[in-house]
Structure 1
């Protein structure tokens, strides 16, 4: 598992619009990145987390961070998810699990006694120098964005 202080794994992947995005390009713009991994579009916990990032988008942006979500869903699924929830940030289409494997979030999970492979809800904050300042695995969707904002010292427009 990745830890704060380590160099973030680089990636180049397609977004919901079939356009490539890379960590290198984001950092070259002088921005940091909040990269969050979630299991599945349009499920309750994932929708809650995505909408919380939507609501805090301007606060993260003002603090110098871009936001990208990642799941193994298709581009079409991402587009519907974004439209239904008015998401203003891009979602990476990671059907081949390349980005998830690089960040160690595709793991064995157990639910109701059944073992399977799946995405562990996780968030990474990559600073402008490409180093991880946050590497949170197994996060709970509810309250996660608020906790992350506080951890990064980002004042939110909600006064949190």
Structure 2
């Protein structure tokens, strides 16, 4: 299992394909606070709920100085369908090799229906303007997570 990030860590940089045919490099967002959340699979019920919650909160999060990036192992084409189907406004990134997921501690052993499996660990990491981890949550719940995140960041 990958080491999990903790406050004070420097976030590993990455460049990933997005859902619109471009690429996003994390270090290009220096100067902004960034919320990076990892989810198992586009268009599944929990992941849809979480993505819609982030999308619905995106404008207010941006007003508070945050950018939001969602990362899953899905291919960009599937992410584009996800964005279109659910009218998502946030940036979705594709990590099919799971290199970023592993580097950020969001891939490894987890419990699923009482069994231990290897997969994406639903996680959220918040970075400050310099790319340093300010908050990191692992094994988060899809439902209600954005509201909890806002409370924990003092945004409500």
Name the TM-score, length of structure 1 as normaliser. Answer: 0.91
Query: Gapped runs of 5+ residues in structure 2?
Result: none
Distance in 2 (CA, whole Å) between partners of 1:115 and 1:55 is: 33
Distance in 2 (CA, whole Å) between partners of 1:59 and 1:53 is: 10
Name the TM-score, length of structure 2 as normaliser. Answer: 0.93
- 1:107 aligned counterpart, secondary structure: strand
Per the alignment, residue 158 of structure 1 pairs with none
Choose which of 9, 16, 19 in structure 1 pairs with 2:19: 16
Per the alignment, residue 74 of structure 2 pairs with 73
Per the alignment, residue 48 of structure 1 pairs with 49
Question: Could you give the per-residue CA deviations for residues 59-81 of structure 1, whole angstroms, max 9, x where no partner exists?
Answer: 11001111010000111110111
Structure 1 stretches (4+) deviating beyond 2 angstroms? 109-116
Question: Could you give the per-residue CA deviations for residues 108-130 of structure 1, whole angstroms, max 9, x where no partner exists?
Answer: 12334543310000000011011
**What are the within-5 Å matches in structure 2 for residues 102-121 of structure 1?**
102-121=103-122
**What are the within-5 Å matches in structure 2 for residues 115-130 of structure 1?**
115-130=116-131
- CA shift, 1:103, in A, is 0.2
Question: Could you give the per-residue CA deviations for residues 57-110 of structure 1, whole angstroms, max 9, x where no partner exists?
Answer: 011100111101000011111011111111111111100111101101111123
Query: Gapped runs of 5+ residues in structure 1?
Result: 156-160
